[in-house]
Amino acid sequence: MQPARLTEHSFDGYPPEGRAVATAHLALLGELPVVFASILLRELISYDWKFPAEREELDGQLTYLQALSPGERTKVLAGLKSISVPEQLERTDWVAAPVSFGEQLTAALWATHQMDSFREAANGYAEAWRAARPQRTPALPRLLVVVLDCYAAGSEAPAPAPTPVTFGPPMQKLREHGVLFTKVDPERGMPLLAEFLERRATAYPAPYAHWSITGAGSPTNNPPKNPPKNQTVTSLSYAGLAPARRALLRRVEAAVASGGMGPEALRTLLAQTTPEDLGFPANGSPLVDRFAVSLLTEGSGTQIFSTSFVQWAARETLRRAQPSTLLVHFTARQSQRSLNEMLAPSSVDAQPLDPLGSEVDAEMGAYYTWINGQRLPGAEHTSFVAWHPSSGQAIGIGPSLPRGTVSEAPARLSQVLDWSS
């Protein structure tokens, strides 16, 4: 179907808010090339479950396109309009199923050697869009805190590491950007951070602006000892999602056992998974539940390794929600075992733990968290703290801290937070 033939009834299967936005821009959508219209509809069909930052960006794109004159719009989208879509694919109901259409379109672009042209055209549009929409500096400077707690397993009084711990290459790279504190008092570490997060969320309340993401101690399904109490703090934990993780693995196991389920069909099954499929309670937050499902179905290893879950959740939270405050708590993950054992729903959280391997994962996760924070608006004002309870070391990065320096003076964790932010 050509975009020009779109009607209000074309979006009857969309959730309410997404349908309203689509119908409000019906004339605009009808003038777009199929490739670009399908990309926008892929976002609009999930509009009801997008964070405020995502909605603002999508609304901004539609407003930008609407404000262009026909000639300007033709120029901006010329590259995308030149992409050829196979006739058979174009006849599919891409409006009702834009996600599935996108997967088939990707395969078609590779098969017809148009992927490079598509990327070039997409980048051209993105540059024009960014130029027309200068990034806004957040009113509250962003603060990212990462706890590398892989030896203590989430205890309030961190146990010493079995061997002396020295920051590895990822953390050494971070040292170049701030101060290495070598004598940080670990007393009341996690409770203090939870209280700090709650105070900040209370002082600057906003939907989905303050997050806590944790491996939640050892993977024995015990809840975190000090979960945030403030309702303006959005919390996710690997242990708390244990029932959903097991349900997802059972779903995959059943699909593969049925036969005829190849990688592409399995990917489609995962993309179509809903909170209801995984047993999320009906009285939960639809937006956060959908986000949690996306973490488990789109991330690699997020179903079986707490460190993979925490790292991917931090990445996606920064990319999608663009929070003002993010507390990331890495804890010990299970040890490597055979793939069949790790994917078995009944043993997904089995012992033993691997503190040393988890430490490597956590350091890389901390580095990626800082990198991803630098990609967001206001990065020059962003503060970052990486704290290692077992070694008594922390790295603080912030506008007021000198770069590439070391502080050997005793310090409390609260002081490091204050100095960094």
In this prediction, residue 172 carries a pLDDT of: 86
CA separation for the pair 293, 248 (Å, rounded): 9
**Predicted local confidence at residue 217, as pLDDT:** 45
pLDDT digits 0-9 by tens, 301-353: 999 899 999 999 999 999 999 999 999 999 988 887 777 776 676 666 666 78
pLDDT given at position 171? 86
Q: Which of 63-67, 120-124, 229-233 has the lowest mean pLDDT?
A: 229-233
Per-residue pLDDT, averaged over 113-124, amounts to 95
Q: Three-class SS of residue 353? A: strand
Structural element, H or E, at residue 212: strand 210-214
Q: Give the separation between CA 392 and CA 245, rounded to whole angstroms.
A: 34
Mean pLDDT of the chain: 87
Residue 355 pLDDT more than 90?
no
Does pLDDT of 155 surpass 90?
Answer: no
DSSP designation for 412: E
Residue type, 363: E
Model pLDDT, residue 154: 42
Assign 123 a pLDDT band (cuts: 50, 70, 90): very high
Q: How many CB atoms lie within 10 A of CB 421?
A: 22
**Coil vs helix vs strand at 302:** coil
Q: Is the pLDDT of residue 157 over 80?
A: no
Higher pLDDT, 369 or 351: 369
pLDDT score at 232: 85
Q: Would you say residue 227 has pLDDT above 70?
A: no
Q: For 14-43, how does the pLDDT look when each residue is reduced to its tens digit (9 = 90+)? A: 999 999 999 999 999 999 999 999 999 999
On the question of pLDDT at 156 being above 50, the answer is no
Q: Which of 190, 140, 139, 186 is nearest to 325 (CA)?
A: 140
Q: What is the pLDDT of residue 237?
A: 94
Predicted local confidence at residue 161, as pLDDT: 52
The whole-number pLDDT of residue 159 equals: 47
Tell me: the pLDDT tens digits for 41-97? 999 999 999 999 999 999 999 999 999 999 999 999 999 999 999 988 988 889 999
Of residues 376 and 340, which shows the higher confidence score? Answer: 376
For the chain, the domains span 3-132, 143-420
Which amino acid would we find at residue 325?
Answer: T
Give the per-residue pLDDT at 221. 34
Structure tokens at 151: 């030896």
Q: What is the pLDDT of residue 340?
A: 72
CA distance 145 to 211: 10
| Predicted TM-score of the model (pTM) | 0.88
The residue-averaged pLDDT of 114-131 equals 93
Percent of the chain with pLDDT over 90: 64
